[in-house]
């Protein structure tokens, strides 16, 4: 069966996982709607993708913490490209500090970017999908969502658990309804995949997947429209069970 091309919106698309997802979806023949704060990188990415694949690529600047801009951008992309088949809520921030150590500013910024802004993106996407009566929402969570994390990861992990539950709640709402047959929801739980966000981790763990390999696993899961997936599946699917259910002393040693 020939794969139908889609229109895919990716937030946080100027670098890392977002940029590589754009490349891989373009290689499948999809038109793209790409947004991020760094517009010069978006323009470079658009030129690269159009030259390589000849698909339509619309770009817009977006700070996802600006609620009004989020709704205007999603609606604008819908108007630019005619429809949105898939929205990938990818934009995120990795700042953080141990609670009570004087860095509430960093933890609040992460919470606002990773959860509140993701809520706005989800609201805007679902507004379009409800009007179209079709669409695919993809929420990029994290393996850190499997268990409360210590120190600089505490707030980050909490936001990633929050967005996973946000998407899962939406899936529960849609289940068994007419809209649920045409609007799909996927939550991705990436493990260590090389990107700007975790470049300091790259040298300290043997579990780090390359950006291309890690994103390929993400794209494959998205294409299957699975409800949820740990990516890459090995070693993260089995490790997710350890992270969820192992006694705290065991988890503390692992992290």
* Domains located in the chain, CATH noted: 7-254 (3.40.50.720)
User: pLDDT band at 106, cuts 50/70/90?
Assistant: very high
Predicted confidence at residue 199, as pLDDT, reads 56
Between 206 and 46, where is the model more confident?
Answer: 46
Average pLDDT for 156-166:
98
Question: Of 25-34, 126-135, 207-216, where does mean pLDDT reach its minimum?
Answer: 207-216
Question: For a pLDDT cut of 70, what percent of the chain falls above it?
Answer: 95
Predicted confidence at residue 252, as pLDDT, reads 83
pTM above 0.85, yes or no: yes
Helix (H) or strand (E) run with residue 49 in it: helix 39-53
Cβ-based burial of 218 (10 A; exposed 0-12, middle 13-18, buried ≥19): buried
Catalytic residue among 104, 156, 175, 189: 156
Q: What is the CA 113 to chain-centroid distance, rounded?
A: 12
The angle at the Cα of 149, spanning 106 to 172, to the nearest 5 degrees, equals 95
Q: Is the pLDDT score of 203 beyond 60? A: no
End-to-end CA distance of the chain: 44
Predicted confidence at residue 197, as pLDDT, reads 61
Q: Is the pLDDT score of 206 beyond 80? A: no
User: pLDDT band at 202, cuts 50/70/90?
Assistant: very low
Predicted confidence at residue 201, as pLDDT, reads 43
User: pLDDT band at 205, cuts 50/70/90?
Assistant: low
* φ, ψ (nearest 5 deg) of residue 59: -125, 145
Q: Mean pLDDT of all residues in the chain?
A: 94
Q: Is the pLDDT score of 179 beyond 60? A: yes
Average pLDDT for 46-54:
97
Question: For a pLDDT cut of 90, what percent of the chain falls above it?
Answer: 89
Predicted confidence at residue 1, as pLDDT, reads 63
d(CA 181, CA 136): 11
Give yes or no: 189 in active site. Answer: no
């Amino acid at each position: 069966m020939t794969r139908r091309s889609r229109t895919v919106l990716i937030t946080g698309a100027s670098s890392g996982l977002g940029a590589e997802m754009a490349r891989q979806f373009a290689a499948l023949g999809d038109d793209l709607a790409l947004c991020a704060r760094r517009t010069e990188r978006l323009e470079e990415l658009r030129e690269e993708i159009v030259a390589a694949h000849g698909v339509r690529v619309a770009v817009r600047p977006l700070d996802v913490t600006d609620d009004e801009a989020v709704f205007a951008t999603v609606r604008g992309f819908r108007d630019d490209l005619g429809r949105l088949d898939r929205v990938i809520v990818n934009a995120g921030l990795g700042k953080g500090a141990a609670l009570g150590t004087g860095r509430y500013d960093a933890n609040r910024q992460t919470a606002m970017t990773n959860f509140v802004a993701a809520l706005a993106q989800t609201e805007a996407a679902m507004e379009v999908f409800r009007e179209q009566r079709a669409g695919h929402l993809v929420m990029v969570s994290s393996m850190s969502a499997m268990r409360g994390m210590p120190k600089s990861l505490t707030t980050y992990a909490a936001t990633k658990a929050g967005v996973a539950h946000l998407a899962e709640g939406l899936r529960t709402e849609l289940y068994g309804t007419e809209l649920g047959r045409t609007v799909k929801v996927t939550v991705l739980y990436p493990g260590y995949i090389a990107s700007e966000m975790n470049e300091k981790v790259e040298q300290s763990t043997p579990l780090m997947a390359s950006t291309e390999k890690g994103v390929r696993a993400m794209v494959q899961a998205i294409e299957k429209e699975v409800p949820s997936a740990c990516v890459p599946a090995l070693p993260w699917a089995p490790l997710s069970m350890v992270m969820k259910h192992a006694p705290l002393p065991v988890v503390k040693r692992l992290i």
